[in-house]
Structure 1
Amino acid sequence: MQVQNLASSDHWDRVKTELRNELGEDIFSNWFGRVKHEETVGDSVRLSVPTRFLKNWIQNNYEKKLIGLWKRELDDINRVELTVRGALRPRQISPAQPPKAITARRISGRSAPFDIAPQFGSSASSATIPCLADTGEEAAAEFLSGAALNPKLTFDAFAEGASNSLACAAIRQMAAGHEGTLGMLYMHSTTGIGKTHLLQAAATEARKAGRRVAYLSAEFFMYHLVPALRTPAFPVLRQAMKSIDLLLVDDLQFLHGKQAHEEFGKTLEMLMEAPKQIIMAADRAPEELGTLSTKVMQRIQTGEVVSIQSTDYALRHEILRKRIASARRTHPAFTVPDEVADYIARYVISSARDLEGALNRLFAHNQLTKQPVTMNLAEKTLHDLVRIGEPRSIKVEEIQQVVCKHFSVTKADLLSSCRARTLVRPRQIAMYIAKVVTGRSLPEIGRRFGNRDHTTVLHAVRKIEDMVTKDETLAQEVELLKRLINT
């Protein structure tokens, strides 16, 4: 039996690899990061998870996939059984001691948000339910443990550069809990730039310092926390929420649906009842989400909003250096010539995620074929990732940020209706550049500039077009801005 289970552990490692490849690292970490293989007996595989919710979710959504992947490893597997590690046994209740009960009214101080059927002989008008203390404790423990963390995503492994230094410094201070640090930080950038890495690094560092931390991905929030708020676990869970020192919410843009946003607003308001630190991350600025409540927006505005810019060459080179050093710790023979690292840093420019993907391809090829990494290999293997001579996709937000910095105005001023000369010219230049370099329609550009009419954008474009033909200084200034945007 021991030999079989040792072999099955190898099978489980391969099953996990397939799951990670099919689902992606984020989804895999959320749902399978804490799953353990317990044993394989006959035609059945037994896996364990830390919470009942995780067990139910995997059974409902991934059971068939798990069985299919296991059958690839062992033909006779027909069943995957999920158990909860350390599950509490039901309490034995003495006949002389009736079950402790609470009324629906006590759950939240108002009518319960769910239907309660009469139990234990009570009438419908005074419906009660058993006090599910174990369920409440489990929900609280699950909230505090949060979504699974990737142990590789630490501050030491994070490559810091000009584009992310402000966000990195602020988050490091908040994780350490230094006195006088920010209470709220909202971080936004395009995907694959490092937001999740920073949040998970902060969660790990804060826990090491003995702080109570909750790291919630949007998926975890919607499928773990919101359902728990509608159960008898609510009072215990609310106390747990009040007790945390640092809340981290990732991928805020994925909180879809009116109900999810209402629940998020209520949750955030609960966390605001005591001094707390909150870090949130999304792929766009808070005002562009369009679904945050007034109270949530006010809370965000009391803190700091930080934008992480696209990686430049120096930062891409530093990311590669750290990833190569990490790979060499376990595979000392793996080397990447300087010219190959330079090639990747210069031409794989979409995101930090693509940089890692490029390096992973070279590493896999090296390990499978035992051939050294060369320029010829890099050019053949990475042809679909490189962007030689191709203009990268530029967002209107990037243009606005560069123009605001150049003219020393705020984005709020740029999008406002103010007609001051000091704002009109930067606004017109930003609209003109947006039309020239993004190819977006006039109505779409107008929406990105405070919901202006397309005729306003057209007037700005024609105005700047005319001015740059007559004013050499302005023409040079506009070209400089274009170069800064394309950097």
Structure 2
Amino acid sequence: PNRFVLDWVNEKYLGRLLELLGEHGQGMAPALSLLIGSKRSSAPRAAPNAPLAAAASQALSANSVSSVSSSAPAMATPAAPVAVPAPVQNVAAHDEPSRDSFDPMAGASSQQAPARAEQRTVQVEGALKHTSYLNRTFTFENFVEGKSNQLARAAAWQVADNPKHGYNPLFLYGGVGLGKTHLMHAVGNHLLKKNPNAKVVYLHSERFVADMVKALQLNAINEFKRFYRSVDALLIDDIQFFARKERSQEEFFHTFNALLEGGQQVILTSDRYPKEIEGLEERLKSRFGWGLTVAVEPPELETRVAILMKKADQAKVDLPHDTAFFIAQRIRSNVRELEGALKRVIAHSHFMGRDITIELIRESLKDLLALQDKLVSVDNIQRTVAEYYKIKISDLLSKRRSRSVARPRQVAMALSKELTNHSLPEIGDVFGGRDHTTVLHACRKINELKESDADIREDYKNLLRTLTT
């Protein structure tokens, strides 16, 4: 027995054991503590709660909760080893334990953590908590579509509606809080809606690593491989956390190959383009490009307003359009911050008993708005753009017209127009005394280039994220 086994048993089965003891305890309040015993145990002593433990053992057998590994003897007395049913951990909560969750105990030693029944106290020693369920509230129906996420949403729907024959793998990347995880859950929920018996597994990349480490500790790596390679769809979030974890990358590489060869769907997300993930093996980066890679961009103003209006409607709150527009103008970084700001405004309105107005928004978000104003001053924009393009601020203010200076200057002007409340003449004045028509031309030119030039589009997106995060 060891701490890994103890934590695993505590996490998976303590609640169920207490439940069974309660059912057969004739009204007595059961208590149970799982502890690590010695590897060589002497003859068991009789315990006052032995009848309860025996009843639990009979209940496990009578209800046919699960088949038990032949290496783990059934629980007869509190001092005997615990026999535990295989867990149901699939997002669909199906009835077939062996199909629905990775069971690291399957290959573990028969020497398992003993259980002692004690009266009135329950002790749980540091059970590891993991969640691998799909969030049923994330669906395609409540995903707000806009120009920034239109392609990602279309690709996700294609995979959900026609798995194995669409894009495999589907790789979604972008900054935090932009809807990548929402789309991933929406795909999983739709797959289960179409086929409730499908084995759809969603997890964070760190959970995959933790499961693998636990499997190695318990000498159950074959069971680990068997589980993850038998799913119908594997959804892994934040794949960048595999970086510099050589053993995890090795195992995921073979799992990934096995799934694609078997026609099983794989969906991955990351906070950056896969080729830019440092510490990730080239062979993995290459395979991620076998399917479809789609960026999820920060939402534009219209989409931010639509998100706020939809969230307010879901919360049954009257949000005037001008107030939604005001919040959307000031909170630009990501959807998560946008929703957080709206929750603060709604709470302030509720506690103060006031309608939502722009004045109330200024009060409830004063610290956040002050931070935004500090981040997006024209001076800060000029400094950030100059550092990004590796030129001097004085170059942005000069009369030089070479493209290496003129293009960054136009980008800085466009960002100043989008992120500040300064007028065109005011912006022109702080860029070397230029008139408002020069600023207007710069804004129009950058908007055109964002549509036609991938480099300018990427530069603008990176600068926007830097200035608003």
Query: Does TM, normalized by the shorter one, top 0.5?
Result: yes
Which of 345, 349, 352 is equivalent to 1:362? 345
> Match for residue 224 of structure 1?
211
Change (3 A) 1:361 1:100: closer
> Match for residue 471 of structure 1?
401
> Match for residue 166 of structure 2?
181
CA contact (8 A) 2:239 2:268 kept: yes
Q: How does 1:51-70 map to 2 (within 5 A)?
A: none
CA contact (8 A) 1:216 1:250 kept: yes
Residue 366 (structure 2) pairs with residue 383 (structure 1): yes
The percentage of counterpart residues that share the same residue type is 27
Which of 342, 361, 383 is equivalent to 2:325? 342
Residue 223 (structure 2) pairs with residue 204 (structure 1): no
> Match for residue 373 of structure 1?
356
Residue 129 (structure 2) pairs with residue 170 (structure 1): no
CA radius of gyration, larger in: 2
Residue 233 (structure 2) pairs with residue 250 (structure 1): no
Deviations 1:111-163 (A, max 9, x none): xxxxxxxx9xxxxxxxxxxxx99489756412599712222211111111111
Deviations 1:303-353 (A, max 9, x none): 22222222211111111111111111xxxxx21122211111110122211
- CA deviation after TM superposition for structure 1 residue 198, in Å: 1.1
Change (3 A) 1:178 1:252: closer
SS at match of 1:384: helix
C-alpha distance in 1 between matches for 2:30 and 2:302: 48
> Match for residue 100 of structure 2?
141
C-alpha distance in 2 between matches for 1:201 and 1:165: 15
Change (3 A) 1:371 1:43: farther
Change (3 A) 1:327 1:301: same
C-alpha distance in 1 between matches for 2:146 and 2:169: 23
Deviations 1:56-104 (A, max 9, x none): 9xx99xxxxxxxxxxxxxxxxxxxxxxx9x9946759xxxxxx589xxx
SS at match of 2:234: strand
Number of residue pairs the alignment of both structures matches: 325
Which of 376, 381, 384 is equivalent to 1:437? 384
The gaps in structure 1 that reach 5 residues or longer are 1-30, 48-54, 61-83, 93-98, 102-118, 120-131, 329-333, 394-433, 446-456
SS at match of 2:209: helix
C-alpha distance in 2 between matches for 1:378 and 1:364: 11
Deviations 1:241-288 (A, max 9, x none): 344332211012233533333332232233233123222111112122
C-alpha distance in 2 between matches for 1:279 and 1:100: 36
Change (3 A) 1:194 1:89: closer
Root-mean-square deviation (CA, aligned residues, Å) is 4.6
SS at match of 2:177: coil
Higher relative contact order (CA 8 A, sep 6+): 2
The gaps in structure 2 that reach 5 residues or longer are 1-10, 37-59, 74-83, 89-95, 104-129, 415-445, 447-459, 465-469
- CA deviation after TM superposition for structure 1 residue 168, in Å: 1.0
SS at match of 1:254: helix
TM-score using structure 1 length? 0.55
C-alpha distance in 1 between matches for 2:367 and 2:349: 19
Change (3 A) 1:310 1:100: closer
CA contact (8 A) 1:153 1:201 kept: yes
TM-score using structure 2 length? 0.57
Deviations 1:434-453 (A, max 9, x none): 9952565xxxx7xxxxxxxx
CA contact (8 A) 1:242 1:273 kept: no
C-alpha distance in 2 between matches for 1:205 and 1:476: 49
